[in-house]
Amino acid sequence: MAIYLLPFFSLILFLQLSIHVRASALTTAIGANERLCFYADVDKAGEKIGFYFAVQAGGSFDIDFDVKDPAEKVLLDGVRERQGDYVLTANTVGEYAFCFENDMSTLTEKLIDFDIMVESEPRREPPAKPGQISEHTSALEESIFRLNGMLQNIKRTQK
């Protein structure tokens, strides 16, 4: 009986792993002469936005991109970039646009992996002086928060 259940459990494990992998980054194809935009909402000013992309296939493995704030002000842009990893501070509440443009190519489709992360976790204020414990934040909690930020940077770098 256990031999018959082994393929079933293997399939469930495979599906769980594949769902986890898909959740970490998005992949999209951008046709020749096409512009494609993705959007992220920022709920409050001061939040951090992580933006990562890498061209996986097509042409010279390069793409044009730009990032705009809710007022249509260009925050980042690049021409014929192969990959990028950026962290921005959102100074304006609203919808940020992350656009890729493949207008340099007349025939070739590009395949791009990308990830957009908005830090929406509530941040606690650090103690006023080192070693001072505030009523809401302990030294251990502050250390954990800093470690979490460093791990997120390592995760983006590995992607």
User: What tens digit of pLDDT does each residue of 87-143 get?
Assistant: 999 999 999 999 999 988 778 899 999 999 998 655 555 555 555 555 555 667 767
Domain count, the chain: 2
Alpha-carbon distance of 98 to 37, in angstroms, equals 5
Question: Is 82 part of any domain?
Answer: yes
Percent share of the chain, pLDDT over 90: 49
pLDDT of residue 30 exceeding 80: yes
Domain identity same for 113 and 131: no
Give the pLDDT confidence score for residue 147 in this predicted structure: 78
Instruction: Specify the 3-state DSSP secondary structure of 86.
Output: strand
Residue 96 structural domain: 23-120
Per-residue tokens: 127: 């103690």
Tell me the mean pLDDT in the region 1-15.
48
* CA–CA distance, 26 with 159 (Å, rounded to integer): 11
Choice between 4 and 111, residue whose per-residue pLDDT is larger: 111
Residue 119's pLDDT is what?
83
Both 49 and 66 in a single domain? yes
One domain for residues 129 and 111: no
Question: So what's the pLDDT on residue 20?
Answer: 33
Residue 15 has pLDDT above 50, yes or no: no
Same domain for 111 and 141: no
Segment 22-35 shows an average pLDDT of: 80
Closest CA to 90 of 123, 41, 125, 153: 41
Per-residue pLDDT, 107: 86
Whether residues 127 and 49 fall in one domain:
no
Mean pLDDT of the chain: 78
Residue 37, in any domain of the structure: yes
Q: Do 111 and 57 share a structural domain?
A: yes
Whether residue 82 is found in the same domain as residue 107: yes
Same domain? For 66 and 103 the reply is yes
CATH number at residue 51: 2.60.120.680
Whether residue 130 sits in one domain with residue 78: no
Whether residue 14 lies inside any domain: the answer is no
Q: Describe the chain by its helix, strand, coil percentages, rounded to 5.
A: 25, 40, 35
* β-bridge mates for residue 116, sequence order: 51
